[in-house]
Every structure is written in structure tokens, then in C-alpha cells.
Amino acid sequence: MSKEFFIPEGYSSALSLRETQHAIKYIKDIFQQTLSFAVTLDRVTAPLIVRKNSGINDDLNGVERKVDFDMLNEDGEAEVVQSLAKWKRLALYRYGYRVGEGIYTDMNAIRRDDDMDNVHSIFVDQWDWEKVITRDQRNIQFLKETVKSIVKAIVYTKRKVSLRYPVLSREICDEPFFITTQELEDRYPGLTPKEREREITREKKTVFLMQIGKMLKSGTRHDGRAPDYDDWELNGDILFWDEVIQDSLEISSMGIRVDATSLANQLKELKAEDRMKFEYHKMIADGTLPLTIGGGIGQSRLCMLMLEKAHIGEVQASVWPEAMLQICEKNGINML
């Protein structure tokens, strides 16, 4: 169990278990339709498993263990995805998408090495999305405009939810505050990265924290980010202040993806040039794959925020430590 596990004093869910299940479906229906319209995306089907050593699975920070297994009457092994960051870009190429067009999908994953607390689960569900862009759009301004579109889709969905369930009265700030990880370190030099996120989001309510993965002046990174999908100069996380858990809640990790130059530089920085043996990386280096922007939007976290829940287990069915389940039951947190 994570040290970050938090029980809000006097917490009581505003919705019953049955109402919660209805509300989850309502949120997912409204939001994915709104997102699709706002960012111009088609829904597609995506894999739960990929071949091991294909180079397609997300390596996250490069240390997390994947869930893998052998297959009956089939050579090699398969592994459960950790995210679809690379698969989506290949899909845009294979399906023939053009500039201005994109895709989104329901992504389910298992991250066996994740902590389990109020907002983390070993089961991950998110909308993964990706869109073809031009080289001229590989800039901060285009990134910010895309972030604003996603935030507006989230705020619109929250308003619809509050109309259906008036007891859920908290509002979401619709104007994101943009700040880089270096600016954040300069602002709060004595705090840890997580503490910095908490303080800036407490103050600004909705934040887009940019340039994650990039080395800071202090000689550390704000957080790890794989070197072969986001361009560390053109990425970030969308954070919202969660009044229930009194903390910053990351809803989306997203960014403009690497081109040949940024891929080479970032692989070199992390001494991961061996990944260039994979077809995916070669297709970026030779310009075969389109230039894209994309990200993931956490489904359960979004539902948790909108339904004003104290624990992600109130909006998703997963596996939890027995001690955590007992604490939740004693404190009015109704796990699915």
C-alpha cells in the first residue's frame, strides 16, 4: 500500500453504488463524444496484448515489469500493454490518416509495478488518442491550443454531470495555467516534484505542466518519460485540483511526438540507442511514420474527479490490498 493513501475526514459518497455505475457510463458517453468532436478523432479498436520484443509496448520509465506469457502452438511470447503510445502512431500510418485527422480508443492495461493508493491502480483504463500534424504545428502554441480543447471538453462534461446529479456541485476551472517543469522548480526549489505539483495546482486549479522528462538545472528530472514517444520539449500533463483528496490529480499525459532528431537526441541522453533496432524507431528515423500529437486521458480518474470520489476504486473494479479495503470500508469509501 502506498504511503500516499489518504482518507478525507468525514467523507461520504454523494452517490450510491448503483447511481455511481449509471454516472460512470454517462460520463464516458458524453466525454468521448465531446472529445471526438473537439479534436477531430475517429474511434478505433486497439490491442490488449502485443508481441514481446516488438518495440511497440510502452516502456514507461524503462524499469516497470510487463505482464508476459507464452502462447499455445505459437513461437515467442506476448505481453499485456502498458499503454498504446507507439501503437497509435503506427495505426495512423497503416489506416491512411491524413493531416488534421486522428483516432481514439478505449485502452485497458496492467501496470503491475504501480503503487496502489487513492489515484493509482495496477489496472489502467484511459482514452488513448493520436492525431496527424504538420511540421509547422510542432510548436508550443499548437500544443497549448490542443490542451485548451481537451480542458473545455472536460469542463463541458462536468457541467452535464452536475445538471443530472445536482448534489455534485463542485466546478472545474476552464482556463489552464501553463508552466514548465523548470519554472516550477524555480518557483518551489525546496519542494519535491510531487509537492510542487500540489502547490501550483492548489493555487491555479487547472494546470498544464510542460517539458516532462527534460533534465532540470538541479541535475534531476521532474519525472521520468520514455524517450521514444513524447518530445520532452513539447509535452506535458494536465492537472486538476481535487478538493476531495486535497491534492493535484493528473488526468492526462500528452504531447507532440518525437521526430527523427528528437528521437535520436533523447535515446542518446538515456543511453537507449539500442532501441533503434526496432521497426517502429526506424520508421520514425526515416520519416515513414507521420508527425503526430497524442496522449492518454484517464477514464477512472476523470470519473473520480467528476463524481467527487475519494478513491479510484470507487469508480473501477480492480485488486486492492486487504488492509486498504478494510480502511475504506470503515471510512465510507465504497469500492466497486
Residue pair 125/316 in contact by the 8 Å Cβ criterion: yes
The torsion of the CA quartet 26, 198, 148, 254, rounded to 10 degrees, works out to -80
| Residue from 79, 128, 230, 237 carrying the catalytic annotation | 237
Instruction: Verify whether residue 237 is a known catalytic residue.
Output: yes
The CATH code for residues 17-330 is: 3.30.930.10
Instruction: Verify whether residue 111 is a known catalytic residue.
Output: yes
Instruction: Verify whether residue 58 is a known catalytic residue.
Output: yes
| Nearest CA-CA partner of 112 in 173, 69, 142 | 69
pTM: 0.92
Residue pair 300/8 in contact by the 8 Å Cβ criterion: no
Residue pair 154/131 in contact by the 8 Å Cβ criterion: no
Instruction: Verify whether residue 98 is a known catalytic residue.
Output: no
| Nearest CA-CA partner of 118 in 323, 326, 324 | 324
Beta strands 206-210 and 177-180, pairing class: parallel
The pLDDT tens digits along the chain (336 residues) read 445 678 888 888 999 999 999 999 999 999 999 999 999 999 999 999 888 877 777 777 667 788 888 888 888 888 988 888 889 999 999 999 999 999 999 998 888 888 888 889 999 999 999 999 999 999 999 999 999 999 999 999 999 999 999 999 899 999 999 999 999 999 999 999 999 999 999 999 999 999 999 999 999 999 988 899 899 999 999 999 999 999 999 999 999 999 999 999 999 999 999 999 989 999 999 999 999 999 999 999 999 999 999 999 999 999 998 988 999 889 889 998
Gap between the Cα atoms of 299 and 304, Å rounded: 9
